Structure 1
Amino acid sequence: MTLPKVSVIVPSYNYAASLHVCLRAIAAQTYPQIEVLVVDDHSTDDSVAVARALGVRVIALPDNGGCGRARNVGVANTSGEILFFVDADVAMAPDAVAEAVALLEAEPQVGAVCGIEDPEPLLHDTLVARYRGLQYHHWSASGEGNVTFLFPAMCAIRRRVYAEIGPFNPALKQTEEVDYGYRLSRRHQLRLTSRVRGRHDHDHELLPLLRKLFHRARLRIPLYARARRFATGFETAARAWGSLIATAALPALALPVLFGPWWLLVPAALVAASVAADRELYALAYRRRGPVFLMFFVAVHFLVNVTITAGVAAGALQWLVSRPFRQIYDSTFPVEATA
């Protein structure tokens, strides 16, 4: 039986620190039929030199256009029957490509396969990176199965499916994967599986992480309004309620000031309810890192919940007042747009 050729496409922007780890992990794959292409999105560090020093083919773009455009360029300049997108800050397990191909070969109804990242950070082992690794791993692993949310950090797509669905929307810089997941899952199964694994160099500073989460939450609003439903496989109703309840605890802090110390029980109860909404996540943090880290984890996740709620509120307000904002997904949702 002839094995299908796999085109491993690595979009990269200023990831020189992790790119060599990413490319060495690709070189160590057990699957034999691989071609590798790095699409450098106009990096200002030595990413291009790192890739070329390892003998990897590189396309250096003349300006910065985002991951979506870089992936599209990679597809246009490769020839594999299966496209495997890998972020430049991810090191895949040696059998990641082989497992993805095996699943696609065994289940023709599956159009794309996405992997689940290990909870341990790849390079920067800060407290914030440990938080983000555990949080992202659990939210992904708990949605294992058929999803509507694309996880492009490790993602194998049949080329014919990509041709059918069309390219990533280059106008979207932070939500192109959610948009693409919706488009793909309306026609094919999109599978999230722990058979495809890797380690990610997660965000390791708090403010950049919160800033990213705020804008991603804001930019999801017109997509969810257009699709009329949340993505399946990452965002759940319980987590949404957890974010709202955590945010409600902030104004509730005024109650003991106005009415006496016993009212402090109200914000405390709201925080406890927010924790209960995603209790398995906190249990994982306790098992992996112990009680001291759990206290840090609870505090950071509280901030994350409040940030996500603030992003959703900002997005809802922007959706109400800005017609261009409401229409940023129209080009990729022609059915809903004309309904």
Structure 2
Amino acid sequence: MPPLISVIVPTFNSSENVRTCIESLRNQSYPNIEIIVVDNHSTDKTREIVQSFGVEPLIAGPERSSQVNYGVRCAKGMYVYRVDSDFFINRDVIKECVEQCEKHGLDAIAVHNVSDPSVSFWSRVRKFERDMHRGGEGNIAVRFVRTDVWLKLGGLDEFLVAGEDYDFHNRFLKEGYRYGLVDSYEVHLGEPKTLRDVAIKHYMYGKTILRYAKKDPIAASWQLSPLRVGYIRNRSQFTNPTMIAGLAIYQLVRYLASLAGIVASI
């Protein structure tokens, strides 16, 4: 029997996308998976949708880091895979993750994620940006991890609302653990439809991002910088004037909103 994989899905009022997320997990080509949904007291139809798949959601909060850690503590699998509820997971993702870890003795996998380009113009811009980072080592974080490694590292920092994935990745590397990449990828469905959505999201992140930056100022300085190594490595892709202009506007709104959040938190 291949090793059991525990997929941890934190939810909060996730009824818009959670059905698609769980369906994509149920349709994985890998045969041995348990799905653990940890809900933060949703007031919409999230729990009913999850239950329709025969999964009884656990209840925990107050934020997704706490939810994921709780899910890992309840996991029975050799590996845990953190999947946010607004992601679609391509069919071979888990199979490829297990194969890479087992074949090469790896402790984790950083699965590339792309934005769903059908959501809006700004999601197409975001996909354009994320594709620049594919195959690189700068702006990625491991989410498929050996369970014993996750627990030894203490899981996600529950005081972080933003940057918790980068923080875990940084601690993972400092302890000398090894990770790999796979060809299959995740698709982020919960993309912003308007610039207002972008601003609200990053304003909220900005209000807590200093907690992460203070933990590891050096790593944060390049992980959070608007100047990305991937842009330089893939500069030949900058051929579409519309995407270039869109990316410039997106990043301007993103970082101004984050700055406003930082100022509000001081």
Superposed pair shares fold, TM > 0.5: yes
Q: Pick from 212, 234, 238: which aligns with 1:282? A: 238
**Equivalent residue number for residue 24 of structure 2:** 25
8 Å CA contact 2:3–2:77 kept in 1: the answer is yes
Question: For 2:22 and 2:72, how far apart are their aligned partners in 1?
Answer: 18
Alpha-carbon RMSD: 3.1
Query: Does residue 117 in structure 1 map to residue 113 in structure 2?
Result: yes
Deviations 1:208-239, CA, capped at 9 Å, x for gaps: 21232345456444534442413599556843
Q: Pick from 249, 252, 256: which aligns with 1:306? A: 252
The gaps in structure 2 that reach 5 residues or longer are none
User: Quick check: 41-50 or 219-228, which moved more?
Assistant: 219-228
Question: For 1:210 and 1:169, how far apart are their aligned partners in 2?
Answer: 25
Report the CA distance between 1:148 and its aligned residue: 7.6
Question: For 1:117 and 1:13, how far apart are their aligned partners in 2?
Answer: 21
**Equivalent residue number for residue 54 of structure 2:** 55
Question: For 2:108 and 2:150, how far apart are their aligned partners in 1?
Answer: 9
From the superposition, tell whether residues 97 and 278 of structure 1 become closer, same or farther in structure 2 (CA, over 3 Å). Answer: closer
Deviations 1:49-103, CA, capped at 9 Å, x for gaps: 0010121231133xx5111011011112221110011111111111111111111
From the superposition, tell whether residues 223 and 19 of structure 1 become closer, same or farther in structure 2 (CA, over 3 Å). Answer: closer
Question: For 1:316 and 1:28, how far apart are their aligned partners in 2?
Answer: 41
Q: Which of 1 and 2 has higher RCO (CA within 8 Å, sep 6+)?
A: 2
Question: For 2:255 and 2:152, how far apart are their aligned partners in 1?
Answer: 35
Query: Does residue 131 in structure 1 map to residue 77 in structure 2?
Result: no
Q: Which of these two proteins has the greater Rg computed from alpha carbons?
A: 1
Question: For 2:226 and 2:120, how far apart are their aligned partners in 1?
Answer: 30
8 Å CA contact 1:5–1:33 kept in 2: the answer is yes
Query: Does residue 208 in structure 1 map to residue 197 in structure 2?
Result: yes
From the superposition, tell whether residues 236 and 77 of structure 1 become closer, same or farther in structure 2 (CA, over 3 Å). Answer: same
Question: For 1:59 and 1:111, how far apart are their aligned partners in 2?
Answer: 27
Number of residue pairs matched by the alignment: 264
Deviations 1:245-284, CA, capped at 9 Å, x for gaps: xxxxxxxxxxxxxxxxxxxxxxxxxxxxxx989845533x
From the superposition, tell whether residues 278 and 30 of structure 1 become closer, same or farther in structure 2 (CA, over 3 Å). Answer: closer
- 4+ long deviations beyond 6 Å: 275-278, 315-319
**Equivalent residue number for residue 267 of structure 1:** none
From the superposition, tell whether residues 13 and 313 of structure 1 become closer, same or farther in structure 2 (CA, over 3 Å). Answer: closer
Question: How does the TM-score come out when normalised to structure 1?
Answer: 0.68
- State the identity %: 20
Question: For 1:81 and 1:278, how far apart are their aligned partners in 2?
Answer: 36
Question: For 1:189 and 1:232, how far apart are their aligned partners in 2?
Answer: 22
The gaps in structure 1 that reach 5 residues or longer are 241-274, 287-293, 323-339
Question: For 2:36 and 2:174, how far apart are their aligned partners in 1?
Answer: 29
**1:212-231 correspondence runs (5 A):** 212-216=201-205, 219-231=208-220
Question: How does the TM-score come out when normalised to structure 2?
Answer: 0.84
